[in-house]
Amino acid sequence: MFFNITGDPMNKRFVSNEEASELISQLSLEFTVINNQADSYPAFELCPIAPKILTTQKHISAVLINLDGCTISTNRLKLNALEYIVRQVSGRFETEQWRGLDRIIDIPNILDEQHNNPVEYLIQRYHNFIKIDYFKRAYFHSVLWTLILGPDQERKDQTRHNLQLLGCGEMLNDAKLAEYTALKEFTKYNSNVITNYFLHKYGRNLNIHSFGNTVKAAEDIFYKRYFEILELIKLGEGHNLAEEILNEKDEYFVEPIAEVAVFFALIKGWLGEEVETLFDQINNSLKVTDSQNYRISDIEQVKRNLIRLAKEFEADPARIAIVSSDTLYESTVIGTELLNLISTQVRLWKISDHKKNFIFDKLTDPQNIIDAIVTRGDINDIRLKPHRDLYSIALLKLGIPRTRFNEVLGIENNENGIIALRSAGIGLCVALPDSKYNMQSVASAAYVVSGGYPEIMLYYNCFMTIE
């Protein structure tokens, strides 16, 4: 037994309500309430959060960055997969039948972080479009693709779980499914025949009568399309597919956040004095954002500060941890594509050939730029953001002691991420909101930087004291 009912409450394993209140009050002056998933215990948690750091630091030793939204945007990929749902469940495959997601109504709602489930939003908005026969066919086709060809084991496990919940669990024991899975047999030549077989045999059992079940089935359709494109990106075919679908040259399903490549090269100490040749590029990028917070009063002074900053990081590079709520497979594919696109951008930089070759050499190994990566596979699904776990693990992987948390810069693009950072002890947390889609408030951040990485580098000097 661990009961200890006497002595200092700090030494107790179990404490009373009053003692707990006293201990909690010692942890912080500010707390956040985190609601747990339904049926979890407790219903909510009261978490202390680090105070905002609003002063510059002598040095930034590490940077924790959210992958999607702060280094690279997957909005186009997700929007394509979401539009795919509506077309598949309605049979409106051609633009003449349906023009697609509404740019004014749908896209801002889908990309706004306040909508926790964009699939749920679409099912609500387009429920009158749904034709049950098309829906069932799309569901079984998607499930079969995932189970037979899907590259992500976590997604396969979730698909199997959903089959059970939706009344089609018997399908998992079907010998035909085992045969097709073993042969990886699900091509454009036989997929319709295979789908027809399982649809005819198990389609009547599919329970999508409730709204919740309809959403679950639609999510499997979404992820089939999402992972299908991810696999093409991994194989180097994503660019051609993007140009074909988006009807524009030099288009990609994923795209780096503006000047994140320069930011990485700067804080890893790769640029040195040659950063000056990139000043106009950074400044022009900042002008495009039309930041309300940034005004250059002395260009030459800003250039000098940027050079000093580059020298500081050249002498003492920052460590970088990439954090993602996605699976390891998703994060690896997207992260690899990010480095490929960064390499493409570096070719256009106005720096010396010697420096370019040096940076290209660094980019050949992801470990030269990313010191740690943390994904949902490192934790339990019920401990995703706004819980602190992803960022606490990142700090442990980087070997940053608690006494130096003030030297850690955290970069997020939404409120849940900022809360996770501060719950992990990071008070120097910066929000990069997507103003294009009028994202939710990020008032919990120490800084809201609408000018992105250009503003961080030129206006805030990476939040370092420049002497």
Q: Transcribe 6-71 into DSSP letters.
A: SS-GGG-SS--HHHHHHHHHTT-S-EEEEEPPTT-SSSEEEEE-PPP--S-BS---EEEEEHHHHT
**Do 288 and 425 lie in a common domain?**
yes
What was the pLDDT predicted at 294? 57
What was the pLDDT predicted at 40? 84
- Cα 109 to chain centroid distance, Å, stands at 17
**Do 195 and 291 lie in a common domain?**
no
What was the pLDDT predicted at 203? 97
What was the pLDDT predicted at 12? 67
H helix intervals, 258-352: 260-267, 279-289, 299-315, 328-346
**Do 225 and 319 lie in a common domain?**
no
Answer for the pair 86, 105: CB distance below 8 angstroms, yes or no. Answer: no
Q: Does residue 68 belong to any structural domain of this protein?
A: yes
**Do 168 and 201 lie in a common domain?**
yes
- By DSSP bridging, strand 31-35 and strand 44-48 are antiparallel
**Do 236 and 263 lie in a common domain?**
no
User: In angstroms, rounded to a whole number, what is the distance separating the alpha carbons of residues 190 and 199?
Assistant: 14
Q: Does residue 145 belong to any structural domain of this protein?
A: yes
Q: Does residue 53 belong to any structural domain of this protein?
A: no
**Do 419 and 352 lie in a common domain?**
yes
- Of the residues 195, 214, 246, which one is the last residue of a structural domain? 246
Q: Which tokens belong to 100?
A: 């697609």
Q: How confident is the chain (467 residues) per 10-residue block, as mean pLDDT?
A: 49 82 87 86 92 96 96 94 97 94 90 76 95 98 98 95 97 96 92 97 96 97 97 90 80 92 98 96 83 68 96 97 95 94 94 96 94 92 90 97 97 94 98 65 89 94 92
pLDDT in tens, 336-382: 999 999 999 999 999 999 999 999 999 999 999 999 999 998 988 78
**Do 157 and 220 lie in a common domain?**
yes
Global pTM? Answer: 0.91
- Cα 313 to chain centroid distance, Å, stands at 26
Dihedral of alpha carbons 318, 324, 328, 333, sign = negative
Q: Does residue 127 belong to any structural domain of this protein?
A: yes
**Do 173 and 272 lie in a common domain?**
no
**Do 232 and 270 lie in a common domain?**
no
Residue 372, phi then psi, degrees to nearest 5 = -160, 145
Half-sphere exposure of 325 (CA within 13 A, CB side): 17
CATH number of the structural domain spanning residue 325: 3.40.50.1000
Q: Does residue 1 belong to any structural domain of this protein?
A: no
**Do 191 and 87 lie in a common domain?**
yes
- Of the residues 246, 273, 298, which one is the last residue of a structural domain? 246
Q: Does residue 123 belong to any structural domain of this protein?
A: yes
Dihedral of alpha carbons 137, 140, 145, 146, sign = positive
Q: Which tokens belong to 13?
A: 């394993």
Q: Does residue 20 belong to any structural domain of this protein?
A: no
Q: Which tokens belong to 309?
A: 């900053």
**Do 186 and 266 lie in a common domain?**
no
Which residues constitute the domain of residue 161?
A: 75-246
- Of the residues 246, 281, 296, which one is the last residue of a structural domain? 246
By 3-state DSSP, what share of the chain in percent is helix, strand and coil, each rounded to 5?
55, 10, 35
pLDDT in tens, 387-415: 999 999 999 999 999 999 999 999 999 89
User: For residue 438, how many other CB atoms are within 10 A of its CB?
Assistant: 10
User: In angstroms, rounded to a whole number, what is the distance separating the alpha carbons of residues 252 and 306?
Assistant: 31
Q: Does residue 7 belong to any structural domain of this protein?
A: no
Give how many domains the chain has, as a whole number. Answer: 2
User: In angstroms, rounded to a whole number, what is the distance separating the alpha carbons of residues 82 and 429?
Assistant: 31
| Three-state secondary structure call for residue 455 | helix
**Do 110 and 215 lie in a common domain?**
yes
